[in-house]
Amino acid sequence: MKLIISGGGTGGHIFPAVAIANEVRRRHPDAEILFVGANGRMEMTRVPEAGYEIVGLDITGLQRSLSPQNLLFPIRLMRAVRKAGKLIDMFKPDAVVGVGGYASAPVLLAATSRGIPALIQEQNSYAGLVNKLLARRVQRICVAYEGMEEFFPADRLVLTGNPVRTEIADGQRAEALPFFGLDPARPVLLVIGGSLGARTLNQATAAALPRLQEAGVQLLWQTGKAYYPQAQEQAAPFAARNLQALEFVRRMDLAYAAADVVVSRAGALSVSELCLTGKPSILVPSPNVAEDHQTKNALALTRQDAALLVRDADAAATLYDQALALLQDPARQRQLAANIRALARPRATATIVDELEKLLPATVRS
């Protein structure tokens, strides 16, 4: 089996792509898998760290504001499509998977023009531009939310959920608390702003450190690389009370296991992980994303009483009022946990690869 997986730009695209690749390799140990990303984006380092080869295209997205750079976009796209076509002609994949992001467009355009079967995976409840434009060229569209017929042809849709690391839910509190040096007698708040961090969450958390200390709350605060030096300095006076600033949390299974309540952005991957781990959550959608899709992700949960929502503009004033109130209300925590766990789709990755295999030639499937 030979497979190309294209896309990236953020962890929300990259981690699902790697999860799909891992499931393919589990079923087909001799599979040849090639990733195609955008030069200068995080997939160019994250994918090799996961053990896969990646080739970069010189492609960027359209700017949302009026910009002279947009005038060059058609030229860059055509060059990227030509390079993608050459890669496809050399590699000769049996199928192509697109996960969204800049690099998906040229790869899927080149592949479908050559009659190669293609599948796209849409992580969000509001479809991305690339996936919407390519929807009628591919054979299968795997989505994480119901009601996506608004964006895609209904006859190609499969509701699968988002591919996440299922081991994320395997962490045990008995291991997690000593791993982070936490006191089992005091509540734990986990704050995560996505793979790149989140300015609003970082600023609100820094301002709330004295309140958290006074309330006896312990904190695991993932800051992201850029904000970490400042956050480390801000948290240092509170270290004795287990208010910890962390640049990046590699053992997220243990972080989730330790947490009583989670404050998070509402990216598709984060939401899917919260469903799988069944954590009482307060979502603060980023306003700096296309079509405000994080708010739509959050609303998909809050409409089912599966999470709380604080708008980014209100976070400084109200986020920690709500977080402290929830930490002091075990009954509400149990209610939210039960409701969010009911939305989990733990077989998402396997279902996506099931759909992918249906597109392959019979000789490859066997």
User: Is residue 115 packed enough to be buried (19+ CB in 10 Å), middle (13-18) or exposed (0-12)?
Assistant: exposed
d(CA 58, CA 280): 41
Bridge partner list, 220:
190, 244
* Residue 12 annotated in ligand binding: yes
* Residue 10 annotated in ligand binding: yes
The radius of gyration of the chain from alpha carbons, rounded to an integer in Å, stands at 21
Return the minimum-mean-pLDDT range out of 63-67, 79-83, 197-201, 355-359: 63-67
Return the minimum-mean-pLDDT range out of 8-22, 29-43, 273-287, 330-344: 8-22
User: Which residue would you say has higher pLDDT here, 203 or 103?
Assistant: 203
Tokens (6 digits) for 144: 């994480």
* Residue 124 annotated in ligand binding: yes
* Residue 133 annotated in ligand binding: no
pLDDT at position 9 is 73
- Work out whether strand 32-38 and strand 53-57 pair parallel, antiparallel, or are unpaired: parallel
d(CA 81, CA 57): 9
pLDDT band at 146 (very low <50, low <70, confident <90, very high): confident
* Residue 366 annotated in ligand binding: no
Mean pLDDT for the chain?
91
Tokens (6 digits) for 229: 């030096």
* Residue 272 annotated in ligand binding: yes
* Residue 202 annotated in ligand binding: no
Reported as a single tens digit per residue, the pLDDT across 248-258 is 898 999 999 99
d(CA 93, CA 84): 12
The answer to whether residue 58 scores a pLDDT higher than 60 is: yes
d(CA 226, CA 41): 16
* Residue 134 annotated in ligand binding: no
pLDDT at position 74 is 72
pLDDT at position 64 is 55
The answer to whether residue 196 scores a pLDDT higher than 80 is: no
pLDDT at position 124 is 87
- Work out whether strand 32-38 and strand 2-6 pair parallel, antiparallel, or are unpaired: parallel
d(CA 239, CA 275): 30
The answer to whether residue 72 scores a pLDDT higher than 80 is: no
Full set of structural domains in the chain with CATH: 2-162+346-365 (3.40.50.2000), 167-341 (3.40.50.2000)
* Residue 294 annotated in ligand binding: yes
pLDDT at position 101 is 81
Tokens (6 digits) for 273: 């992980």
pLDDT at position 73 is 64
Return the minimum-mean-pLDDT range out of 12-21, 64-73, 197-206, 350-359: 64-73
User: Is residue 198 packed enough to be buried (19+ CB in 10 Å), middle (13-18) or exposed (0-12)?
Assistant: buried
The answer to whether residue 51 scores a pLDDT higher than 60 is: yes
Q: What mean pLDDT is predicted for residues 326-343?
A: 97
| Closest C-alpha to 38, from 22, 17, 65 | 17
* Residue 6 annotated in ligand binding: no
CA atoms within 13 A on the CB side of 65: 2
The answer to whether residue 65 scores a pLDDT higher than 60 is: no
155: DSSP letter: G
Q: What mean pLDDT is predicted for residues 252-269?
A: 95
* Residue 194 annotated in ligand binding: no
Dihedral angle of Cα 38, 43, 49, 54, to the nearest 10 degrees:
-30
